Amino acid sequence: MNKTENPLSKIVIVGGGTSGWIAAATLAHGFKNSDLEIELVESEQIGTIGVGEATIPSLLIVLNSLGINLDDFIKETQGSFKLGIQFEDWYAKGDSYFHPFGSIGKPIAGFDFFQCWLKSKAEGDPTPLMAHSPEYVLSERNKFFLPFEARNTPLERIFYALHLDSTLAGKYLRKFAENLGVKRTEGLIKSVAQNEEGYIESVTLDDNSQISGDFFIDCSGFKGLLIEQTLNAGYDDWSHYLPCNRAVTVQTEKTGETKPYTVSTAKEAGWTWRIPLQHRTGNGYVFCSKYISDEEATKTLLDSVEGKPLTEPRIIPFTTGLRKKAWYKNCLALGLAQGFLEPLESTAIHLVTRTLAFFIRMFPDKSCHQQLQDEFNRRVRVDYEEIRDFLVLHYCTTKREDTEFWRWCQQMKIPTSLERKIDFYKVSGGLIPGTEELFQPTSWYAILMGMQVMPERYNPALDTLDANKLSSILSQGKQGLIQIAESQPSHDEFLEKYCRAKMP
């Protein structure tokens, strides 16, 4: 086995939004002891999309692997903590449920906790599943916690993520990447040159300067300047499963306490988000233009926000789906250029970091071997399809009848992969964990229970467990959680003490 004879010597990243700067930071850090040159080109004239402010716990693993100090990152991005998502009015108007990060409960006598809870429920215990989620019990009380004081308590196994100001996060990552030697070039790309085989050779800017490279990462946003406009990779449109195709966004003044979770509220033709930051709140309405106009959606959003608007409402059109080939020839598409799944579970930034991890796992040399491309594209698609199915679950289980949009959701044709999962759950009360799946069974249970999809029965093997003993274990666990949660500081107290941002 030999060292490659034709290693990549220069990667050009096109685009300086969140995905461009995450790519620059990750590659610069990963290849800091090599001769790999990285140049990022972006255009202030075009700007970035400026949304993408809720994340999932995987971001913290990435920040940690880059050696970024979390407190510092939170201060610089006006961030706050996120323990999960509160879903309002999804099952029916007036109903609400919570999707916490992390796991719910711990196995009892070797049995899966969810099965234990189902058995206890069948025996008459009315305690909701969420009473056993540390993330939910804290969220309900607007608390956050001190990790070093929570050793040997149920908070030890808690998962959390961040809310962050996306523009500030971009700035932070830019500084980080530039310090590691990434070259940033300002300029509008007006043409792309390819060789005879279609591989990209260089991009030309509006001042006629040329930037050449061996490999190109397309982070140019929805249009996919390289992957689509140059290489015509093609796009699989998934609007038949997830028909929302526009969002209207507005930033508002901060009001009240900083909630340690995102709020998602179902509206007449989609749903709104509320993301609490230290200095302001991010709001948006994701909707389907077939059922509501931009003007009506904007009015609905403005009527539902809590603080005074700080920005003009902005409409963002999108098409849900995935590029047919996220890696094609010597071009990798990342972020919005790669695909789009509505931000219901805040998965876009995760997909950027996950894609980069796959790319490094299958890192090419100049030949960009076809097998690497094929396996990479297959793996990225598996992730997108898994998340797509999870998002569809939120819609297809609704019982709302009040608008045409929700009536459509009730009778929509769902992906076969999702149908199989729900059918298995209904007969067994369980789900089979996938090997590398993002959403583990507890996440699915949270949505299924929240949307009141009950299985026919619990696993009969649990009949070996004594019902009274089980009930007492569950009750103790629940009380223990309440006790420890009550003794934690409020989310705002926690931010004040450790992560208060500098004034803008």
By CB under 6 A, name the binding residues for ligand FAD.
15-20, 41-43, 46-49, 51-55, 166, 188-189, 219-221, 225, 247, 284, 316, 318, 335-337, 343, 346, 348-349
Q: Which two tokens stand for residue 268?
A: 């007449």
Report which secondary-structure segment, H or E, holds 404.
Answer: helix 404-411
Closest CA to 74 of 164, 173, 176: 164
Least distance between ligand FAD and beta carbon 171 (Å) = 12
Nearer to ligand FAD, 104 or 192 (CB): 192
3-class DSSP state of 41: strand
Least distance between ligand FAD and beta carbon 56 (Å) = 8
The 3-class SS string of 176-205 reads HHHHCCCEEEECCEEEEEECCCCCEEEEEE
Nearer to ligand FAD, 10 or 366 (CB): 10
DSSP track, 108-164: BTTB-HHHHHHHHHHTT----GGGG-HHHHHHHTTB---GGG-TTSGGGG---EEE-
Least distance between ligand FAD and beta carbon 337 (Å) = 6
Least distance between ligand FAD and beta carbon 167 (Å) = 10
Nearer to ligand FAD, 348 or 474 (CB): 348
Nearer to ligand FAD, 134 or 335 (CB): 335
Least distance between ligand FAD and beta carbon 187 (Å) = 6
Nearer to ligand FAD, 344 or 422 (CB): 344
* Angle between helix 370-396 and 441-450 (nearest 10): 30
Nearer to ligand FAD, 230 or 488 (CB): 230
Least distance between ligand FAD and beta carbon 465 (Å) = 40
Nearer to ligand FAD, 116 or 169 (CB): 169
Nearer to ligand FAD, 336 or 396 (CB): 336
**403, 268 contact by CB (below 8 A):** yes
Nearer to ligand FAD, 192 or 465 (CB): 192
Least distance between ligand FAD and beta carbon 16 (Å) = 4
Measure Cα distances from 394 to 267, 276, 318, 398 in Å: 13, 22, 19, 7
Q: Which two tokens stand for residue 445?
A: 């249970």
Nearer to ligand FAD, 131 or 211 (CB): 211
If one counts every other C-beta atom within 10 angstroms of the C-beta of residue 42, the result is 25
**373, 264 contact by CB (below 8 A):** no
Measured torsion, CA atoms of residues 394, 51, 320, 387, in degrees rounded to the nearest 10: -50
Closest CA to 337 of 49, 31, 59: 49
Least distance between ligand FAD and beta carbon 144 (Å) = 20
Nearer to ligand FAD, 103 or 166 (CB): 166
**113, 125 contact by CB (below 8 A):** no
Cα(146)–Cα(59) distance, rounded to whole angstroms?
Answer: 19
Measured torsion, CA atoms of residues 327, 331, 334, 336, in degrees rounded to the nearest 10: -100
Q: Taking the CA atoms of 303, 305, 311 and 317 in sequence, report the sign of the dihedral they define.
A: negative
Least distance between ligand FAD and beta carbon 139 (Å) = 18
Nearer to ligand FAD, 109 or 193 (CB): 193
Closest CA to 76 of 171, 162, 145, 144: 171
Closest CA to 445 of 84, 114, 123: 114
Least distance between ligand FAD and beta carbon 129 (Å) = 25
Radius of gyration of the chain (CA): 24
Least distance between ligand FAD and beta carbon 292 (Å) = 15
Cα(269)–Cα(247) distance, rounded to whole angstroms?
Answer: 11
Least distance between ligand FAD and beta carbon 45 (Å) = 7
